[in-house]
Amino acid sequence: MSKIVIALGGNALQADPKDISAESQRVTAQRTAKPIVDLIEEGHQVIIAHGNGPQVGQIVATYEGAAAVNPKLPVMPFPECGAMSQGYIGYHLQQAIREEMRKRGIEKHIASVVTQVVVDKNDPGFKNPTKPVGSFYTEEEAKKLMEEKGYVMKEDAGRGYRRVVASPEPIDVVEAPIVKTLVDAGHIVITVGGGGVPVIDEGNGVLKGVPAVIDKDLASEKIAEILDADYLIILTAVEKVAINFNTPQQKELDQMTIEEALKYIDEGHFAPGSMLPKVKAAIKFAGSKPGRKTLITSLEKAKEGIEGKTGTMIVP
């Protein structure tokens, strides 16, 4: 059977965007576990990656709120908040998947690995931070944070000012050898959560965490390459990728070659921050080695997608 890296989108962790409670995530994780275990039951080797947008924002905002009430309390650095979100989300996923496997009589172990992902300190993303994180502030508060902490603050859709951080490209996964050892031993691994904790190499092998957000689809693609996976499955809210989305000319795609996908990107068919990074990650993986394919589909259709019955397959 196949070695598959599954990249879970936000809807696989929080069914209701307005409810970001731990209980809501736990219940959603139980639903998410079922189609994942379907693939495990088929005999596939499964590695799981996931986003962390709402969760890391909630963690950052909590520390910021506490520091606003008591200035003596330190604000938790952003890399540490990312690591916290990996543990929090991984805990819910591994519990839910373990329980679903237990119900089906599947005896496998599952573990979450707090994962560091190496980025280039000279990545262009650091020169133009764009990813908003944490709380909203007034213009006066934002200026104070910029002066005192060196944050980059930007106005966010008329709702106030927020801190923005860079979104650099992933270069390598520090814990990849550990992940590979676990996968080769037949275990299920949750890794590169939220795109991984971004770190830069300061020389002599010394790694330093940096305030940044790595796109989880690109991080999933990187670990899929390293592990020599057969498939990268990018799960999202829709069953198939579409061009002319949300217009009378909308057309859902069963398959795209890399050449066709690049053409559609040039024509502006895929929204930045939504389908565009998924398609870019899909292109990168499908073109990385002969025989590799990327499937973009919804969580519920993952098994059918692997069987070629639905979803959008990106092929060389």
Decide if pLDDT at 17 tops 80: no
Per-residue pLDDT, 185 = 96
pLDDT for res 219: 97
Residue 157 confidence (pLDDT) above 80: no
Helices 216-226 and 275-286, interaxial angle, to 10°?
Answer: 10
What pLDDT, on a 0 to 100 scale, did the predictor assign at position 135? 77
What region, left, alpha or beta, does residue 185 occupy, with left being phi > 0 and alpha being psi -120 to 50 degrees? alpha
Burial class (CB in 10 A: 0-12, 13-18, 19+), 130: middle
The domains located in the chain, with CATH, are: 1-118+181-237 (3.40.1160.10), 130-165 (no CATH), 243-290 (no CATH)
Task: Give Cβ neighbours of residue 150 (< 8 Å, ≥ 6 apart).
Answer: none
Scan for tokens 């996931």, then name that residue.
50
Chain centroid to Cα 305, Å, comes to 20
pTM score, whole prediction: 0.91
Give the pLDDT score at 57. 83
| 15, pLDDT greater than 80 | no
Catalytic residue list: 10-11, 131, 216, 278
Tell me, what amino acid is at 178?
Answer: I
86: which 2 tokens? 């990996």
Task: Report, as an integer, the average pLDDT of 100-110.
Answer: 97
Q: How do residues 177-186 score in pLDDT, each as one tens digit?
A: 999 999 999 9
Residues 6+ apart with CB under 8 A from 135: 60, 61, 64, 65, 162
Q: What is the pLDDT of residue 158?
A: 82
Q: Residue 166: how many CA atoms within 13 Å on its side-chain side?
A: 22
